[in-house]
Structure 1
Amino acid sequence: MSIMQGADPEAVEILSRDRLEGFRDKDDESDKVLVGRYLLNAAIAEALHPLLHAVEVVLRNRLNEAVSAKYPIEADLPDQYHDYPSWLDATAGPVTESHQKHVVEAKNKVHKELRRQYGPGLASARRMRTPGRLVAALPFSFWVFLFDTDYSGTRDAPGNFWPELLPAVFPHKKPSVPLNVIRSRLRHLLVVRNRVMHHERIHPYSAGKGLPWNPMTIRREILELLGWMSPRAEKLVGRFDRLPEVMDPLNLRYLRWTPWLF
């Protein structure tokens, strides 16, 4: 059967044809099967969102605290920073030139939000430019970038951050877990996060589609990362996340096939 044979007009109203085809595994699958698979992925993405949010917030906060302690800035000495009294915006800070553009983008984002809330006059005041606003405006990808070799260096020449800051950022990590494991896991989670945010296929995996990691594996890796940074956060998020419920076989059978929609 060709792709368009048996097409369901109402299914195409819900999703574009290009997006719908991303959920096809076999040529003879009906649009209802594809929509069911899409809804399964929507449920998985919804359940993964709090987990991804938690690991992003905890990671950026611990990283910011650790780097701020190593590269302190005196707020009363404005020559040490451009706009925000933070290592992120320091005139001679640790952020590499290739990553400074992300800081500039975050500053523009914060300034635009301040102008919207307080007007151009107040928004331009330096007292409004707090490090916390800048930290929150930087995307997850930026914090993952900080684990690149630009900041880890080599065995003979350690980088600005790693491995020195590992005990501060991951105080509960086993000594046997090396930096490259953390780096690899964060890069995986960045891919997951981008697919979740763009409503792309996550599961089940097939050639060229979905992720090569089971959602429950993703959950386990997120909780383990959280545990290395904050056991309290791991316990809290693990207690309330809904992914096990979504992935329960009894629930999956209803999400895979949804004739009641049409």
Structure 2
Amino acid sequence: MTYLGIISSISTSRLSSYKKVFECSCEAEAINYYYWNQAISSELYVLLHTIEVCLRNKIHLALSKEVSLKVTGKIQDNYPWYTQFSFIDTSKGHDVLTETGRAFKKITHNKKGKDLKLLPQIIISRLEFGKWSYVLSAKKYGDGNHINWEDLFPLIFSNFIGMDSNKHQMIIERIRVINKWRNRVAHLEPVWKFGDIKKDGKVIIPEPVNQNEVVKRFNAELRRAIDLLLWLCPDTHTHYVGTQSYKRLKELAMAKNISTFSL
């Protein structure tokens, strides 16, 4: 068997980061790490999908109850709360929809502007994951009243110990990191690549540049993702960490199993 065809099908440019970080002597050696990335990506997808579904459902339920009571005087579990949010950008001198507002409208209306009258749970399921951090960052309702995140965050992240308003942005940033990870999985990119972590403009955790650093950073990010799932739903967390998928994910993330990996 020749590796030339395989290398060509993957591309040397795509293999270059594997060759550099995992200190491979040639592209043929890097192929194994490329397939290891595919394997760990498939298991990581299970975790990220679990977080995504749990997050959007917890947000939807909390906001449905809050906004339905505010608008109708009755609590509803499946209410179109997004119609009451202010997704308006006034910075350009006139009112335009924010990116999140446009994302909702793309789901709720057809290209001619007709309301499709979809059920709220359908709309929620179709909103891309990257928009949820912006939903949690929204400030006001359409009537100008402020959104009561002080009460809503503890309902959404019901197992977060010591919740207060100072923790909100940290949680939102964690969701954004999860979204970047999810996009890497979706686009078949290396899920072990991470940028610098900065605080106040200073690098506190640098980008991983070798296998040891990759393993350390990957497992740290994995723990943070597992924590987020725990904050959202202890039962879902307990179920997930008991799965064979999670066991395989942890095994694939061990340094001793990376260089010896084979399909």
Specify if TM > 0.5.
yes
What percentage of residue pairs aligned between the two structures are identical? Answer: 22
Aligned to 1:40: 36
Are 1:216 and 2:219 counterparts? yes
* TM-aligned CA deviation for residue 212 of structure 1: 9.6
CA distance, structure 1, for counterparts of residue 10 and residue 146 of structure 2: 47
1:251 aligns with 2:257: yes
* Paired residues, number: 219
Q: Match for residue 56 of structure 2?
A: 60
Q: Counterpart amino acid of 1:225? A: L
More strand by share: 2
Determine which structure has greater relative contact order: mean sequence separation of CA pairs < 8 Å that are 6+ residues apart, divided by chain length: 1
Deviation at 1:139, TM superposition (A): 0.9
Conserved in 1, the CA contact under 8 Å of 2:107 and 2:126? Answer: yes
Q: Distance in 2 between matches of 1:216 and 1:104?
A: 38
Alpha-carbon deviation of 1:159?
A: 4.7
Which structure 1 residue ranges, 5 or more long, are not aligned?
1-6, 75-83, 113-123, 153-157
How far apart are residue 140 of structure 1 and its match? 0.7
Q: Which residue number in structure 1 is paired with residue 234 of structure 2?
A: 231
Q: Quickly say closer, same or farther: Cα 1:183–1:213, change in 2 above 3 A.
A: farther
CA RMSD of aligned residues (A): 3.4
With over 3 angstroms needed to count, the CA separation of the structure-2 counterparts of 1:212 and 1:36, relative to structure 1, is closer
8 A contact 1:94–1:160 mirrored in 2: no
For residue 15 of structure 2, the aligned residue among 2, 13, 20 is 20
Cα 1:105–1:125 shift into 2, 3 Å: closer
Q: CA deviation at 1:192?
A: 0.9
Contact 1:144 1:183 in 2 (8 A): yes
1:36 CA displacement: 1.5
Q: Counterpart of 2:203?
A: none
Is the deviation greater in 65-74 or in 210-219?
Answer: 210-219
User: How far apart, CA to CA, are the structure 2 residues paired with 1:211 and 1:135?
Assistant: 35
Distance 1:161 1:94, change over 3 A: farther
- Aligned partners of 2:186 and 2:51: how far apart in 1? 15
**TM value normalised by structure 1:** 0.71
Alignment correspondent of 1:186: 175
Q: In structure 1, what is the equivalent of residue 80 of structure 2? A: 86
Deviations 1:25-50 (A, max 9, x none): 17973112221121121122111111
The structure 1 segments of at least 4 consecutive aligned residues displaced by more than 4 Å after TM superposition are 210-213
User: Normalised by the size of structure 2, how large is the TM-score?
Assistant: 0.71
